[in-house]
Amino acid sequence: MTAAGGAARPRLILASASPRRRELLGQLGVPFEVVVAQVTEHEESTTDPRVMVAHNAALKADWVAARQPDAVVLGADTTVFIDGAALNKPANGVEARAMLRRLSGRSHTVFTGLALRHVASGLKIDEGVASEVTFKTIYDAVIEAYLARVHTLDKAGGYGIQDHPELIIAGYSGSLSNIIGLPVDTTKQILTRGGLLP
């Protein structure tokens, strides 16, 4: 594949293990590989969520880019924010239930940080996206029904808006793909700036 002017377009690598990010990035029609960054993410719940997701996205992208200097690397990180605290991935069912109870009947913000890196050219782009989600008031029977249908331990806030939303979601504003884990429009913009899309 060549970019304008005939120069070879660099490979794109997604620095994420998330199957949802893989699916969303695939919608843009750009070939890419997946390399999972071997990093320890910062998940202190009292950190400013914008700072936390930006830090983690950059951490993943920088780790992979340092090892693949000729590739363009995309890192991303998402968290759920309510009551001045970030709700990251629940460690177990007890935490998932507690998160769903906390979100019940209320609105929260979903923050995603994006980082694009290309060591060979010095390219470095960082962006952040926020969306709002409102939950229905949900009782324990609905929480149990939701947990029986959805694997929640790999999802910030203990839920996925794309999984049985009729049980838990009253509404949302902003980017739906951001809430799922990768804001497609913003990703498209930064890949265009990085020369991977026309």
Concerning whether 77 is annotated as a catalytic residue, the answer is yes
Q: Over the stretch 75-105, which tens digit does the pLDDT of each residue have?
A: 999 999 999 999 999 999 999 999 999 999 9
Confidence band for 7, pLDDT divided at 50, 70 and 90: low
Q: Over the stretch 49-82, which tens digit does the pLDDT of each residue have?
A: 999 999 999 999 999 999 999 999 999 999 999 9
What's phi and psi for 164, nearest 5 deg? 45, 55
> Of 89, 134, 130, whose CA–CA distance to 113 is shortest?
130
Confidence band for 9, pLDDT divided at 50, 70 and 90: confident
Note the pLDDT of residue 144: 97
Q: Over the stretch 128-173, which tens digit does the pLDDT of each residue have?
A: 999 999 999 999 999 999 999 999 999 999 999 999 999 999 999 9
The single-letter code of the amino acid at 187 is T
Note the pLDDT of residue 5: 44
Q: Cβ distance 153 to 83 under 8 Å?
A: no
Domains and CATH numbers, the chain: 4-193 (3.90.950.10)
The single-letter code of the amino acid at 70 is D
Q: What is the mean pLDDT of residues 12-20?
A: 94
How confident is the prediction for the chain on average, in pLDDT? 94
Decide: helix, strand or coil at residue 188. helix
DSSP labels for 124-146?
EEEEEEEEEEEEPP--HHHHHHH
Q: Which of 48, 77, 83, 126 is catalytic?
A: 77
What would the two tokens of residue 162 be?
Answer: 């794309």
pTM over 0.75: yes
